[in-house]
A and B are shown apart, each in its own frame.
Chain A
């Protein structure tokens, strides 16, 4: 098998020290990381290690999912939440589901769960990136995050309550008002940012950044706040160093985790009756299905019409058309493949995403190669520029809106008929 110590290229004396070091580095990087001793106890499924691991998993997962609502402190609630999140992410082991939720056992299973999370994705980097201290003034250039994705609807607690349509109207109006407020505040914020940037031009120690940001200016204005920021920066630096140290040493950890798996009793594969899922969550699926079906109908009608017209026109044509036809087919195929890329997972991201640090160039542009993006062309150029992402989506969203609003007109004939019938 060749596992364990025989694989290590260091001698066992070093190996004995390398593992605690690796785990210590891991702990320093994680929020609320437990000591290496806790990890060791967890391998042997000691109950005293359980609560620390439950808490660790809770903190890690709630940070990953950015779910501040689940700040429930009771250990049972924490444990239940952790279990359901791990299950929803596809944790493969049955042992987790069978753990009691009083938080007193299951440390080995939790250790495996933590290792599973670490192995699947760059967990530490993600956690660090989420809590990263932003020193610059940042603005996201896309709306993929915040408001674009509607949240899951809450379980239908109020399913039975009759709701007045006027209440709905009022809420919609309120929403529009809030949006207007938001836009006005955003405009003001941009104006203030512009001023601060222009007033602090030339002060930054880093020559490629031409001016101070709000955070930096604020730390100058308020020394106490500045000291706090400095402390936070230093602790983030410590965590980053720990992450780098972990990276060098993590091989030892994975080899150790193999041994943990070996120690586990094998899981019996008895078939358990799986609970049937609630229907409530299928709501979004149905919405998408309905959209796609409507789209299919429209396309079918359009294609039939055009195909008939084409066949009528083409009729009998010369054979050299075939080459041209094939070329057209290939070109169309390529275009559609590119279109598909736009929504596939793992598709290329032609458009920039995420937050960008704002920089007013002032009187000198930093001529770094592959340098910063210029906003000017974005705002003006409507070609294949990134602005098209924002603007294109705006157009698509804006153009979808009249369609959505005009759809109910299809029902008007039946409405009017109903009126006539009703009145007569």
Chain B
């Protein structure tokens, strides 16, 4: 219904929107991957992969995954006993009920389990008696669709069919203690036994060597040989420049892009500062004077930026060297890329999950707002010319106004209602 001319050359706009959507989708995919890994870690681990911690001497002596006497939390273990009993009962109950479907059964077992923990089940002598006939009626944990059901505090721990094979192969294939073999081991859960884990020795060695090498690489030694190297490098570059046939002055495309980026940042910072100055009310003459000086200084800086931009525009229009045709991948500037800290990532301590979530949320919000601002600028550049042409009004044109207004002024959230006001005569 909208006239075709109303959206003439929207090429850049559509491309920007698609870019934005694609980057968002890509980021979501990466996040999903990490989520899958994390969720899998918090569920019951496959018994075949239960790690058997090495029998290294130390505070955790004589490690086996299972013996209750050594676990640090006997209370937790007791609760686990009760829980497993309840679950075994649930499985039996479920077998009795016809298989109505995975979800229903798992939910049911969940609810039964929650009731069971409050009930006083008779404590069992051995928690390692294999539950009878779990077999294929057990819903494997991995098939549960809702990760919420498997949150750490949850009670829907579904027992898997225990392997009779050795319950764990660490990276060094440690033999499992014989006492564990006749008993079917339980599934390993990070919540209960996470503190028992130990990294294998080979890995530890490799990791420490890795961090040592990185430290060495990042340290800048000053010695004669290093100075000589730097000197010969600069000499080489100069010689290259001299032997080339092109004039040595002039910026490359990458440099122009980088400068434009800086000017963009300058523009937003200057605007922010101007806003601060304009909104604060000066209380005395000195403040007023400072405000005035600041604004004048800002004006001068904006002038300089504009001047630089015009210079860049001239370079772009008429380059001194051949510039690459076509579209290039945007040079990935690592943030703060000039002084690149290749030394390992610094530590960031957090004290609660909420803090972590707040930081992540704020970060995403900044990114989203930045993107939104950019898109709105592009939208303005594309759409405003369309509505300011003087053309006869009609319903299609009103519809266009309405659409443009909602996009630009309301962020697409609200729409105007346009009423026709009939004169009374």
In the bound assembly, the distance between CA atoms of A314 and B292 in angstroms comes to 13
Asked if A42 is at the interface of the complex by the 8 Å CB criterion, the answer is: no
In the bound assembly, the distance between CA atoms of A401 and B4 in angstroms comes to 30
Query: Known: A150-B19, A277-B319, A292-B305. Contact between A168 and B407, CB under 8 A?
Result: yes
- Interface pair B373/A401, CB less than 8 Å apart: yes
> Smallest distance from the beta carbon of A177 to chain B beta carbons, Å?
10
- Interface pair A143/B366, CB less than 8 Å apart: yes
Within 8 A of A (CB), among B277-315: 278, 285-286, 288-299, 301-303, 305-306, 309-310, 312-313
B-side contacts of A404, CB under 8 Å: 373, 376-377, 380
Nearest residue, chain B, Cβ from A135:
B207
> Smallest distance from the beta carbon of A367 to chain B beta carbons, Å?
12
- Interface pair B364/A182, CB less than 8 Å apart: yes
> Smallest distance from the beta carbon of B251 to chain A beta carbons, Å?
7
A154-B327, A292-B306 given. 5 additional CB < 8 A pairs? A230-B203, A237-B209, A288-B267, A336-B298, A401-B376
> Smallest distance from the beta carbon of B409 to chain A beta carbons, Å?
5
Most buried by B among A159, A174, A203: A203
27 residue pairs bridging A and B, Cβ less than 8 Å apart: A84-B326, A97-B322, A134-B345, A136-B345, A146-B367, A159-B11, A165-B407, A168-B13, A194-B356, A201-B195, A205-B198, A219-B199, A251-B229, A254-B236, A261-B239, A266-B243, A269-B245, A277-B317, A299-B295, A313-B288, A328-B290, A339-B273, A375-B351, A376-B351, A400-B272, A408-B408, A411-B384
Query: Known: A84-B328, A142-B363, A302-B274. Contact between A172 and B412, CB under 8 A?
Result: yes
Q: Which of A11-19, A44-52, A221-229 contacts B (4 or more CB under 8 A)?
A: A221-229
> Smallest distance from the beta carbon of B396 to chain A beta carbons, Å?
11
Asked if A384 is at the interface of the complex by the 8 Å CB criterion, the answer is: no
- Interface pair B42/A164, CB less than 8 Å apart: no
Asked if B126 is at the interface of the complex by the 8 Å CB criterion, the answer is: no
- Interface pair A178/B171, CB less than 8 Å apart: no
Asked if B265 is at the interface of the complex by the 8 Å CB criterion, the answer is: yes
B-side contacts of A132, CB under 8 Å: 214
Within 8 A of A (CB), among B316-366: 316-336, 338-342, 344-353, 355-366
Within 8 A of B (CB), among A138-197: 138-166, 168-169, 171-176, 178-179, 181-183, 185-196
A-side contacts of B370, CB under 8 Å: 143, 147-148, 393, 397
Asked if A295 is at the interface of the complex by the 8 Å CB criterion, the answer is: yes
Q: Which of B23-31, B83-91, B93-101, B134-142 contacts A (4 or more CB under 8 A)?
A: B23-31
Q: Which 3 A-B pairs have the closest CB atoms?
A: A422-B393, A90-B252, A144-B335
Asked if B228 is at the interface of the complex by the 8 Å CB criterion, the answer is: yes
Nearest residue, chain A, Cβ from B329:
A67
B-side contacts of A191, CB under 8 Å: 353, 357
- Interface pair B210/A233, CB less than 8 Å apart: yes
- Interface pair A361/B351, CB less than 8 Å apart: yes
> Smallest distance from the beta carbon of B293 to chain A beta carbons, Å?
4
- Interface pair B27/A375, CB less than 8 Å apart: no
Query: Which of B200, B305, B332, B349 is A373 in contact with, Cβ under 8 Å?
Result: B349
> Smallest distance from the beta carbon of A421 to chain B beta carbons, Å?
8
Asked if B71 is at the interface of the complex by the 8 Å CB criterion, the answer is: no
B-side contacts of A355, CB under 8 Å: 345
A-side contacts of B258, CB under 8 Å: 345
Q: Which of A31-39, A99-107, A242-250 contacts B (4 or more CB under 8 A)?
A: A242-250
> Smallest distance from the beta carbon of B187 to chain A beta carbons, Å?
11
- Interface pair B241/A92, CB less than 8 Å apart: yes
Asked if A352 is at the interface of the complex by the 8 Å CB criterion, the answer is: yes
A-side contacts of B21, CB under 8 Å: 171, 174-175, 178
Nearest residue, chain A, Cβ from B323:
A277
In the bound assembly, the distance between CA atoms of A69 and B332 in angstroms comes to 14
Q: Which of B32-40, B108-116, B158-166, B177-185 contacts A (4 or more CB under 8 A)?
A: B32-40
In the bound assembly, the distance between CA atoms of A325 and B106 in angstroms comes to 77
Chain A: interface size category:
35 or more
Quick one: CB contact mask for A80-105 with B, threshold 8 Å, 1 for yes?
Answer: 00011101111011100100000000
Query: Known: A148-B366, A203-B194. Contact between A214 and B34, CB under 8 A?
Result: yes
Asked if B255 is at the interface of the complex by the 8 Å CB criterion, the answer is: yes
Asked if B222 is at the interface of the complex by the 8 Å CB criterion, the answer is: no
Asked if B152 is at the interface of the complex by the 8 Å CB criterion, the answer is: yes
B-side contacts of A227, CB under 8 Å: 171
- Interface pair B261/A204, CB less than 8 Å apart: no
- Interface pair B4/A162, CB less than 8 Å apart: yes
Asked if A255 is at the interface of the complex by the 8 Å CB criterion, the answer is: yes
Quick one: CB contact mask for A338-360 with B, threshold 8 Å, 1 for yes?
Answer: 01101111100100111111111
Query: Known: A236-B210, A258-B236. Contact between A292 and B7, CB under 8 A?
Result: no
Asked if B368 is at the interface of the complex by the 8 Å CB criterion, the answer is: yes
In the bound assembly, the distance between CA atoms of A313 and B350 in angstroms comes to 53
Q: Is the interface of A mostly helix, strand, loop or mixed?
A: helix
In the bound assembly, the distance between CA atoms of A140 and B216 in angstroms comes to 24
Asked if A300 is at the interface of the complex by the 8 Å CB criterion, the answer is: yes
Asked if A234 is at the interface of the complex by the 8 Å CB criterion, the answer is: yes
- Interface pair B342/A87, CB less than 8 Å apart: no
> Smallest distance from the beta carbon of B282 to chain A beta carbons, Å?
10
- Interface pair A189/B38, CB less than 8 Å apart: yes
In the bound assembly, the distance between CA atoms of A145 and B139 in angstroms comes to 42
In the bound assembly, the distance between CA atoms of A393 and B118 in angstroms comes to 50
Within 8 A of A (CB), among B1-59: 2, 4-21, 23-25, 27-28, 31-32, 34-35, 37-42, 45-46, 49, 51
Asked if A319 is at the interface of the complex by the 8 Å CB criterion, the answer is: no
In the bound assembly, the distance between CA atoms of A92 and B251 in angstroms comes to 11
Query: Known: A201-B195, A343-B265, A359-B349. Contact between A190 and B362, CB under 8 A?
Result: no
Asked if B406 is at the interface of the complex by the 8 Å CB criterion, the answer is: yes
In the bound assembly, the distance between CA atoms of A339 and B25 in angstroms comes to 35
Asked if B260 is at the interface of the complex by the 8 Å CB criterion, the answer is: yes
- Interface pair A93/B240, CB less than 8 Å apart: yes
- Interface pair B252/A288, CB less than 8 Å apart: no
In the bound assembly, the distance between CA atoms of A116 and B239 in angstroms comes to 11
> Smallest distance from the beta carbon of B378 to chain A beta carbons, Å?
8
Asked if A212 is at the interface of the complex by the 8 Å CB criterion, the answer is: yes
A-side contacts of B268, CB under 8 Å: 396, 400
B-side contacts of A298, CB under 8 Å: 274
In the bound assembly, the distance between CA atoms of A196 and B377 in angstroms comes to 42
A-side contacts of B199, CB under 8 Å: 203-205, 212, 216, 219-220
Within 8 A of A (CB), among B367-413: 367-381, 383-384, 387-388, 390, 392-394, 397, 400-401, 403-412
Within 8 A of B (CB), among A39-83: 64-67, 69-70, 83
In the bound assembly, the distance between CA atoms of A257 and B233 in angstroms comes to 10
- Interface pair B411/A295, CB less than 8 Å apart: no
Query: Which of A139, A149, A419 is B360 in contact with, Cβ under 8 Å?
Result: A139
Asked if B271 is at the interface of the complex by the 8 Å CB criterion, the answer is: yes
In the bound assembly, the distance between CA atoms of A189 and B245 in angstroms comes to 55
- Interface pair B361/A375, CB less than 8 Å apart: no
Query: Known: A139-B360, A295-B271, A405-B409. Contact between A159 and B9, CB under 8 A?
Result: yes
Asked if A316 is at the interface of the complex by the 8 Å CB criterion, the answer is: no
> Smallest distance from the beta carbon of B13 to chain A beta carbons, Å?
7
- Interface pair A182/B24, CB less than 8 Å apart: yes
> Smallest distance from the beta carbon of A298 to chain B beta carbons, Å?
7
- Interface pair B19/A230, CB less than 8 Å apart: no
- Interface pair B225/A248, CB less than 8 Å apart: yes
Asked if B117 is at the interface of the complex by the 8 Å CB criterion, the answer is: no
Asked if B208 is at the interface of the complex by the 8 Å CB criterion, the answer is: yes
In the bound assembly, the distance between CA atoms of A352 and B332 in angstroms comes to 18
> Smallest distance from the beta carbon of B46 to chain A beta carbons, Å?
8
